[in-house]
Amino acid sequence: MANAQCIFCRIIGGEIPADVVHDGGAFVAFRDIAPKAPVHILIIPRRHIASLNDVESKDGDLMGRMLLAARAIAEQEGVAEAGYRVVVNTGWNGGQSVDHMHFHVLGGRPMQWPPG
Ligand code: 5GP
Ligand code: ZN
């Protein structure tokens, strides 16, 4: 459940403000505080799930709805047609810095491949 040390749980709890763009019930989406692209939205489950490694099979529906929300948000933000990227950084090598699982939705500029 909510983790008092977790910055994203504190956003969910209303303790830290965030620019929320979508409320999906079991998940919310808000703008990244340090955007890496003109559009940079984070989608997080309300329940504290530390990383993709901690997602259980019962969360499959939640993950699917979060992914569809990523697409809807890309449309809402006007980047769907030009293209965008959905990223789930996981663990140390994956570059995860906040241990509450989240999707990044990045758009508004060309993305490079492979990622750094
Ligand atoms: P990660 O590095 O774990 O994949 O992504 C964490 C993201 O959370 C980073 O892009 C970072 O800028 C963002 N972030 C960290 N703290 C806050 C915060 O307090 N508010 C918001 N809106 N974003 C945050
Ligand atoms: Zn959390």
Q: Whose CA is nearest to atom 13 of ligand 1?
A: 32
Task: Respond yes or no on whether the N-terminal peptide bond of residue 114 is cis (omega within 30° of 0).
Answer: yes
Give the nearest ligand 1 atom to 94 CA. 4
Whole-number pLDDT of residue 97: 98
- pTM metric for this prediction: 0.98
CB 27 within 8 A of CB 48: no
Ligand located closest to 12 CA: 2
Q: 52 by DSSP, 3-state: which?
A: helix
CA of 101 to the centre of ligand 2 (A): 8
Whole-number pLDDT of residue 116: 87
Q: Is 57 exposed, middle or buried (0-12, 13-18, 19+ CB in 10 A)?
A: exposed
Pocket of ligand 1 (CB under 6 A): 7, 16, 18, 30-34, 42, 89, 95-98
Whether 3 shows a pLDDT value over 90: the answer reads no
